[in-house]
């Protein structure tokens, strides 16, 4: 399956290599560099590259290319999914997945990769198991380790590995037993010039942070489970019960995990919390243009829209922008051609407005397409789909846990065409 892994940064430096079978020379990456050059943007690099004797499957994440070398037929998603899992594990262990942290923790990275794959086949990818095998670095632990000479490597086989609930380790103990659930919904939408919705759907996830002792068996039920159209679950969730009773019954992993994700499709009407009035025009003569954007609340159910940010990818010919914002700050980066307007909280009484002129490269023809606006926003304590958790019950343990549910609505891929 997976022969080797190369980590390559955005500048094209290969900074880590790991082989699970015979060593493959790093010159294999030349094919990747070739494709990388051709693609211009890192996002455009094809995920699967063919070379005469090998296949390179890569992902691009956090400004790092994870390039894996494959020799024989394998489902490409298998590899892609695994690489993402690797990146997530790094993030989990080191707080972020960046070149520096990987370089700083190269030994742990190596130990992790060794445990995650055996002969190219995934061995342990469950974070609870890995954390028992290799303890994540903390300042305190590295201090203790250096003094006592003890190691980061667990001595016993992770309990989860053998049980039929591999995601949870045994013998968990907390003094404060608590379980938090975050219902996070993202609105994916495309609005057209006139403000009508071309397409909108809701992507939701329930993130959980469960710190409960022992082996708790939890049941989460919703007020309106019918809303959930298409779901996918963490392996811990008993699918049969969901099918029959529409409740989520599970023995949770320890710590943070994503319990489920769901999808409320375009068939249901999706409330769009804001509207955008925009007018971007480029003049035929004079190499200039005008920009005027106003944002206002639409269906917010009385909640405040926060963290409102408007991003505009300007055409290449736009050299600079001379604008004035009634609220928030704007910034135009002439290199990446990105106009970023950070509004903050949306005030329904006084609608934020950004207005001004754009100057274009002289002599160049006026751009044909007006740039589309990408919106970012956040509404606290509110799930736009109306989904509500009804109750959380715990069985199997005696103590009374502290429970909490939080709702948040965000803009996902929210785009306004102009």
Partner 1 sequence: MLGMSANSVSYNEQGSVESGVDAAQENSSIPASISSGGAASSLFSADYKKNEDLKEMLESNKESLKLEAMKRIVGLIAKGKNASELFPAVVKNVASKNIELKKLVYVYLVRYAEEQQDLALLSISTFQRALKDPNQLIRASALRVLSSIRVPIIVPIMMLAIKEAATDLSPYVRKTAAHAIQKLFSLDPDQKEHLIEVIEKLLKDKSTLVAGSVVMAFEEVCPDRIDLIHKNYRKLCNLLVDVEEWGQVVIIHMLTRYARTQFVSPWREDAVFDENSEKAFYDSEEERRVDQSKPYIMDPDHRLLLRNTKPLLQSRNTAVVMAVSQLYWHLSPKHELSIITKSLVRLLRSHREVQYIVLQNIATMSIQRKGMFEPFMKSFYVRSTDATHIKTLKLEILTNLANEANISTILREFQTYVKSQDKAFAAATIQAIGCCATNISEVTDTCLNGLVLLLSNRDETVVAESVVVIKKLLQTQPSQHSDIIKHMAKLFDNITVPMARASILWLMGEYCEHVPKIAPDVLRKMAKTFTDEEDIVKLQIVNLAAKLYLTNSKQTKLLTQYILNLGKYDQNYDIRDRTRFIRQLIVPNEKSGALSKYARRILMAPKPAPVLQSAFKDRDRFQLGTLSHTLNSQASGYLELSDWPAVAPDQSVRNVEVVEPVKEAGAPALSKSKPAKSNEKFYSDSEEEEGEEEEGSNSEDSSSSSSEESVRESESEENSNDSNKSSSSQSEKSSSESDSEKKKKTLKNKKLQQQKPDSKDRKQKNGNAVKVESRSESESGSESSSSESSSESRSELDSDSDSGTDQKKNTKPKPVQSKPVIKVEKKEVSLLDLDDFSPAPVTTPKSSILSPNLLSDLQGLLISPTASALQASSPVFVPETSHELLHRMTGKGLSAQYRFTRQPCIYGNSMVSLQLTLSNRTDQALENIHISEKSSTGQNIHRFNAIERLEPQASVTVSMGVDFNDSTQTANFQLCTKEDEFSVSIQPAVGELLLPITMSEADFTKEQGKLVGMNESSATITITPENVSSQSVNRKVVSVANLGVIPSGQENIYRFAGKTVSSGSLVLVSVALKDPDAMITINTEKTVMGSMLLRQVKTALTNSGP
Q: Which of residues 362-391 bind partner 1 (CB under 8 A)?
A: 365, 367-369, 371-372, 374
Tokens of 270: 């999706």
CB of 380 to partner 1, least distance (A): 23
- Helix/strand/coil for 57: strand
Choose the stretch contacting partner 1; rule: CB under 8 A; options: 54-62, 269-277, 327-335, 346-354. Answer: 54-62
Choose the stretch contacting partner 1; rule: CB under 8 A; options: 119-127, 170-178, 218-226, 392-400. Answer: 119-127
Choose the stretch contacting partner 1; rule: CB under 8 A; options: 160-168, 207-215, 321-329, 355-363. Answer: 160-168
Closer CB to partner 1, 175 or 369, in the complex: 369
Q: Is 252 in the site for partner 1 (CB under 8 A)?
A: no
Closer CB to partner 1, 55 or 327, in the complex: 55
Any idea what DSSP says for residue 250?
A: E
Query: Do 344 and 307 touch, CB atoms closer than 8 A?
Result: yes
Choose the stretch contacting partner 1; rule: CB under 8 A; options: 74-82, 175-183, 220-228, 398-406. Answer: 74-82
CB of 175 to partner 1, least distance (A): 30
Q: Is 44 in the site for partner 1 (CB under 8 A)?
A: yes
Residues 309-338 contacting partner 1, CB under 8 A:
313, 315-316
With CB under 8 A as the contact rule, the residue among 32, 82, 181, 332 that binds partner 1 is 82
With CB under 8 A as the contact rule, the residue among 10, 63, 95, 107 that binds partner 1 is 107
CB of 340 to partner 1, least distance (A): 14
Any idea what DSSP says for residue 388?
A: -
Q: Is 119 in the site for partner 1 (CB under 8 A)?
A: yes
Which residue from 270, 267, 266, 294 is spatially nearest to 280, judged by alpha carbons? 294
257 CB-near residues (< 8 Å, 6+ apart): 127, 167, 207, 208, 210, 234
Which residue from 101, 182, 166 is spatially nearest to 381, judged by alpha carbons? 182
Sheet containing 247-250, strands listed edge to edge, beginning at the edge strand earlier in sequence: 247-250, 217-222, 389-395
Which residue from 313, 308, 307 is spatially nearest to 417, judged by alpha carbons? 313
- Distance, CA of 310 to CA of 176 (rounded, Å): 41
Query: Do 14 and 8 touch, CB atoms closer than 8 A?
Result: yes
- Distance, CA of 410 to CA of 413 (rounded, Å): 10
Measured in residues, the chain has a length of 418
Which residue from 263, 122, 128 is spatially nearest to 186, judged by alpha carbons? 263
Q: Is 232 in the site for partner 1 (CB under 8 A)?
A: yes
With CB under 8 A as the contact rule, the residue among 71, 91, 159, 359 that binds partner 1 is 71
Number of residues that bind partner 1 (CB under 8 A): 105
For 297, half-sphere exposure in the C-beta direction (CA atoms, 13 angstrom radius) is 16
Choose the stretch contacting partner 1; rule: CB under 8 A; options: 8-16, 279-287, 322-330, 392-400. Answer: 8-16
Q: Is 46 in the site for partner 1 (CB under 8 A)?
A: yes
CB of 330 to partner 1, least distance (A): 20
Q: Is 70 in the site for partner 1 (CB under 8 A)?
A: yes
- Distance, CA of 331 to CA of 339 (rounded, Å): 6
With CB under 8 A as the contact rule, the residue among 10, 178, 195, 239 that binds partner 1 is 239
Range 100-114 burial, b when 16+ CB lie within 10 A, else e: ebbeebeebbebbbe
Q: Is 92 in the site for partner 1 (CB under 8 A)?
A: no
Choose the stretch contacting partner 1; rule: CB under 8 A; options: 218-226, 263-271, 276-284, 379-387. Answer: 263-271
């Amino acid at each position: 399956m997976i022969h080797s892994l190369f980590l390559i940064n955005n500048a094209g430096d290969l900074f880590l290599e790991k082989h699970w079978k015979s060593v493959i020379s790093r010159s294999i990456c030349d094919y990747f560099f070739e494709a990388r050059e051709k693609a211009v943007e890192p996002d455009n690099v094809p995920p699967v590259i063919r070379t005469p004797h090998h296949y390179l499957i890569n992902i691009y994440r956090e400004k790092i290319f994870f390039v894996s070398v494959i020799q024989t037929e394998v489902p490409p998603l298998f590899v892609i999914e695994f690489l993402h899992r690797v990146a997530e594990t790094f993030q989990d262990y080191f707080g972020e997945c960046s070149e520096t942290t990987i370089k700083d923790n190269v030994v742990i990275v190596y130990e992790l990769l060794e445990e995650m794959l055996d002969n190219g086949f995934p061995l342990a990818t469950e974070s609870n198991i890995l954390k028992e095998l290799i303890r994540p670095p903390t300042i305190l632990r590295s201090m203790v380790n250096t003094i006592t000479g003890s190691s980061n490597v667990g001595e016993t086989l992770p309990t989860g590995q053998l049980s039929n609930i591999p995601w949870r380790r045994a013998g968990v103990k907390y003094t404060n037993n608590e379980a938090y659930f975050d219902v996070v919904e993202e609105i994916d939408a495309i609005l057209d010039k006139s403000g009508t919705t071309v397409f909108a759907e809701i992507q939701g996830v329930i993130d959980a942070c469960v710190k409960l002792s022992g082996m708790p068996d939890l049941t989460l039920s919703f007020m309106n489970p019918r809303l959930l159209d298409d779901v996918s679950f963490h392996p811990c969730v008993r699918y049969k019960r969901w099918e029959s009773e529409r409740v989520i019954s599970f023995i949770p992993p320890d710590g943070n995990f994503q319990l489920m994700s769901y999808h409320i499709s375009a068939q249901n009407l999706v409330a769009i919390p804001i509207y955008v009035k925009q007018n971007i025009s480029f003049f035929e003569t004079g190499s200039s243009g005008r920009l005027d954007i106003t944002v206002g609340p639409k269906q917010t159910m009385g909640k405040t829209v926060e963290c409102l940010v408007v991003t505009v990818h300007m055409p290449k010919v736009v050299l600079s922008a001379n604008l004035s914002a009634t609220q928030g700050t704007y910034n135009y980066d002439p290199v990446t051609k990105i106009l970023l307007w950070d509004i903050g909280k949306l005030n329904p009484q006084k609608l934020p407005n950004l207005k001004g002129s754009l100057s274009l490269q002289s002599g160049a023809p006026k751009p044909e397409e007006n740039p589309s606006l990408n919106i970012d926003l956040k509404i606290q304590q509110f799930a736009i789909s109306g989904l509500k958790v009804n109750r959380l019950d715990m069985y199997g343990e005696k103590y009374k846990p502290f429970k909490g549910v939080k709702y948040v609505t965000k803009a996902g891929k929210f785009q306004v065409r102009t």
